[in-house]
Amino acid sequence: MSAPTSVLPYAIAAVRRGWYVFPLRTRSKKPIRGFTDWERYATREESAVATHWGAHPTHNVAVACGPSGLVVIDLDTPKDGETPPPEWARPRITNGADVLAALAEEHADGDTRWMETFTVTTRRGGTHLYYAAPANAAYRNTAGRLGWLIDTRATGGYVVGPGSFVADPDGRGPYTVADPSPVAPLPGWLATLLEPARRRPVTGGQVYQALANSPGLATYVTRALRGEVDRVLAAKEGRRNHTLNTAAFAVGTLVGAGMLPKHLAEDQLTEAALRIGLGDDEAEATVRSGMQAGIRRPRGAAA
């Protein structure tokens, strides 16, 4: 499908839904030149939208998620040669939509209404699920927090809106409305999974529940995880980040072997890092880096 002759109708439709929008370059996901403070200057004024896209009809449109009160779940498709990490190397898991469906089976208690919301098909066959953020929530962007090929956009983030056409080296195509339903509230189970780690502490009991069919293995894994968390909590100033990275690597080897759910391990280590005074961004980046290195070197299952 070729690019639309004018993106204006789509930009108008977005602001009529109450969303704040701003222009992207033609066939690109990048803001137009000189438009750097996009979250501040995004608008939902029809007159401003009509003026801009009337003069620049092929500029793509972006939806600023924070001002619009949105949390958008971005379900991607794998690039050529990309395969699932060990924790998602399961039957019928081929893309981000499959991962989200697996999470729903585990957390949504059979409720399938999470699929009934405004939905956009992206240029490479992925999906954007639009949800209304809970009142007084502080959700921000995430990359892989929910699982393989799933990102989220909230405060501080934007998504390419429907009507846009992107031509990048890794794929080209339109963003089209797949489901025009009203935006649904963010489902409770997704809201819980997306809460910052310091608000969602993980207990040893949760590890046992996740490994309920292997009590001996659960004991081993719980002790190993607890030991690495204690190592982080005891880290001396000047060694905290290094200690966290080492602990994340060790725990990652358990995750890579399929012995420990990734999100439980990430939350436990991040919580410990925050308790010893590391900042949110530093803690999350170090945990993610160390754990990914460990996942690539899975631990032997004998214990």
Whether 271 has a pLDDT exceeding 90, the answer reads no
Confidence (pLDDT) at 198:
52
**Helices in the chain by DSSP H: which ranges?**
8-16, 38-41, 46-55, 65-68, 96-107, 188-194, 204-210, 215-233, 240-256, 262-275, 280-295
The more confident residue out of 200 and 238 is 238
CB-based contact 131:117 (threshold 8 Å):
yes
Which of the four pLDDT bands, split at 50, 70 and 90, describes residue 62?
Answer: very high
26-56 residue pLDDT tens: 999 999 987 778 888 999 999 999 999 999 9
Termini Cα distance of the chain: 55
- Look at residue 188 and give its three-state secondary structure: helix
Nearest alpha carbon to residue 120 among 243, 245, 14, 211: 14
Confidence (pLDDT) at 238:
87
Confidence (pLDDT) at 261:
79
Whether 114 has a pLDDT exceeding 80, the answer reads yes
What is the spatial distance between Cα 13 and Cα 46, in angstroms, rounded to a whole number?
9
242-266 residue pLDDT tens: 999 999 999 988 888 778 878 778 8
The pTM for the full model equals 0.70
Confidence (pLDDT) at 301:
39
Whether 208 has a pLDDT exceeding 80, the answer reads no
Angle, alpha carbons 108-111-112 (nearest 5°): 105
Confidence (pLDDT) at 218:
65
Confidence (pLDDT) at 55:
97
The more confident residue out of 189 and 298 is 189
Averaged confidence pLDDT in the chain: 87
78-105 residue pLDDT tens: 988 888 887 788 899 999 999 999 999 9
Pairing of strands 70-75, 150-153: antiparallel
Which of the four pLDDT bands, split at 50, 70 and 90, describes residue 283?
Answer: confident
The more confident residue out of 19 and 85 is 19
Which of the four pLDDT bands, split at 50, 70 and 90, describes residue 71?
Answer: very high
Domain boundaries, the chain: 8-194, 197-295
Confidence (pLDDT) at 142:
83
Whether 182 has a pLDDT exceeding 80, the answer reads yes
Which residues neighbour 247 within 8 Å (Cβ) at sequence distance 6 or greater?
228, 229, 231, 232, 269, 290
Whether 68 has a pLDDT exceeding 90, the answer reads yes
Pairing of strands 127-132, 184-185: parallel
Confidence (pLDDT) at 303:
31
Which of the four pLDDT bands, split at 50, 70 and 90, describes residue 133?
Answer: very high
The more confident residue out of 49 and 293 is 49
Question: Domain 8-194 maps to which CATH number in 3.40.30, 3.30.2250, 2.60.120, 1.10.1740?
Answer: 3.30.2250
Confidence (pLDDT) at 105:
93
Whether 135 has a pLDDT exceeding 90, the answer reads no
Confidence (pLDDT) at 216:
59
What is the spatial distance between Cα 157 and Cα 142, in angstroms, rounded to a whole number?
10
Whether 150 has a pLDDT exceeding 50, the answer reads yes
